[in-house]
Structure 1
Amino acid sequence: MEEELHVLAVDDNLIDRKLVERILKISSCKVTTAENGLRALEYLGLGDPQQIDSLTTTNVMKVNLIITDYCMPGMTGFELLKIVKESSNLKEVPVVILSSENIPTRINKCLASGAQMFMQKPLKQSDVEKLKYHLLKCRN
């Protein structure tokens, strides 16, 4: 039986977040959403060190992929990517950056900092299939 992928989808725009969630669920992924980078870090157990408890470490192991918007207030997707890649627990989790802007320097900066892929918004069903193929290939 194929293991269900658990995706953490991070986007400050509710409509974009719901779209990503729906497309991923159609592709039989389990989806957790966060409305910003700080919420995502809390979920991943990288928030306020005073709040970290034994529950947060169980979340970490269950996330197979993080999909984040690039432009968000407070913390960009790029900043979230850097924190995830610097974390000893999470650095192996693939991070995909979504952006409505196609800026080559931004794309290169994200990929050079460890992003698995950089995709144009809005996310499409074909993008998810590509992602799943890429992820399953990496895990085997």
Structure 2
Amino acid sequence: MADYGDEPHVLAVDDNLVDRKMIEALLKNSSCRVTTAENGMRALEYLGIRDDQPGESSVSATTSKVNLIITDYCMPGMTGFELLKKVKGSSILKEVPVVIVSSENVPTRINKCLAEGAQMFMLKPLKASDVKKLRCHLMNCRT
């Protein structure tokens, strides 16, 4: 059981600087500690997941202090869905909730992400009410 303390640590991944800054500001206003990454590969680096090994991902124990990952679906190089699969495929990080955000409301995409283990799927632009819902969910979702 992870200790969230008073300030959950969220990794926000988005290739769009404006969206990344907006998510960061909303999360900080909701008393979250935020680390940002501009793409899926940077997120994997931060999380300590090495992308060069098939099968079991190699994760360093010092980087698994993230309580939630929120990632854009559409990003160049590695989509949010591919990032989700990497996280869920890691024995150390698979319990970390992943929320996918997208400006496109595509039911098949939403269902695919949820089936692969996404905690939630939210539409952009995120609003303060979305972040409040997210924070409540974060504090209560892991048993």
After superposition, the C-alpha distances for 1:6-62 in whole angstroms (9 at most, x for unaligned) are: 000000000000000000000010000000000000000003569xx99x42121x1
Runs of 5+ consecutive residues of structure 1 not aligned to the other structure: none
Amino acid at match of 2:24: E
Structure 2: distance between partners of 1:48 and 1:120 = 28
Name the counterpart of 2:62: 58
- The TM-score with structure 2 as length reference comes to 0.89
Structure 1: distance between partners of 2:14 and 2:135 = 20
Judging by fraction of residues, say which structure has more helix: 1
Distance of aligned partners of 1:105 and 1:47 in 2 relative to their CA distance in 1, 3 Å threshold: same
Matches within 5 A, 1:82-121: 82-121=85-124
Name the counterpart of 2:76: 73
Structure 2: distance between partners of 1:106 and 1:116 = 14
Q: Which SS does the other structure have where 1:67 is aligned?
A: strand
How far off its partner does 1:3 sit?
Answer: 2.5
Equivalent residue pairs, number: 136
Amino acid at match of 2:118: A
Contact 1:81/1:115 (<8 A) preserved: yes
Amino acid at match of 2:33: K
Residues 1:128 and 2:135 are matched in the alignment: no
Contact 1:38/1:47 (<8 A) preserved: no
